[in-house]
Amino acid sequence: MSKIIELTKMDTRKILLNISSIETVEANPDTIIILNSGRKLLVKENPDEIYKMIQEN
What is the 3-state secondary structure of 4-43? EEEEEECCCCEEEEEHHHEEEEEECCCEEEEECCCCEEEE
According to the model, what pLDDT value does residue 51 have?
Answer: 96
- Chain CA centroid to CA 7, Å: 6
According to the model, what pLDDT value does residue 56 have?
Answer: 86
Domain map of the chain by residue range? 4-56
CATH topology classification for 4-56: OB fold (Dihydrolipoamide Acetyltransferase, E2P) (2.40.50)
| Model pLDDT for residues 4-41, shown as the tens digit of each residue | 999 999 999 999 999 999 999 999 899 999 999 999 99
Instruction: Please state whether beta strands 40-43 and 4-8 pair in parallel, antiparallel, or not at all (unpaired).
Output: unpaired
| Model pLDDT for residues 39-57, shown as the tens digit of each residue | 999 999 999 999 999 998 6
Q: List Cα–Cα distances, 52 to 11, 36, 38, 49, in angstroms.
A: 22, 20, 23, 5
State pTM to two decimals.
Answer: 0.88
